[in-house]
Amino acid sequence: MDSVAALVADSFFLESEIYVKQGMFDIQEYSLVKYDAFFEKHGITKEIFIQNVRYYITHNKYAGLLINKIDEIVEQRVSALRDSLEVVR
C-alpha cells in the first residue's frame, strides 16, 4: 500500500504540473510524454498502476487507509516545498 500511495502522490504532483503547462504546450501530447516518463521512472505500466489503485479503492477496508497515506505524503511534500521557499526569501 505504501508504494501505491507514493505513486498516486507522485501522480498528483504530475497532474499539477500538467495543469500549469496547459497554455504552453499541446497538453494531450505533453501529458502522454510525462506519464510515459512517470511509468518508466517507477518501472511499471499504466495497466499495473490502474490495477493497483483499483484494488485499494474498491476494497472498503483499504480505501480510507490509502487516501490517508496519500494525503500524508502530499502534505509532507508540500510542507517541505514551503519550507524551502521560506529559506530562499
pTM, whole model, 2 decimals?
A: 0.79
At 88 the pLDDT is 60
Q: How many CA atoms lie within 13 A of 1 on its CB side?
A: 14
Which residue type is seen at 32? L
Tell me what the mean pLDDT of segment 67-83 comes to: 93
Counting beta carbons within 10 angstroms of the beta carbon of residue 56, is it exposed (0 to 12), middle (13 to 18) or buried (19 or more)? buried
pLDDT score, position 22: 85
For the segment 26-56, what is each residue's pLDDT rounded down to a tens digit?
889 999 999 999 999 999 999 999 999 999 9
Question: How far lies 52's CA from each of 11, 12, 44, 86, in Å?
Answer: 14, 16, 11, 37
Task: Write down the pLDDT at residue 89.
Answer: 55
Looking at residue 49, its pLDDT comes to 95
Q: For the chain, what are the domain ranges?
A: 2-88
Residue 26 CB coordination number (10 Å): 10
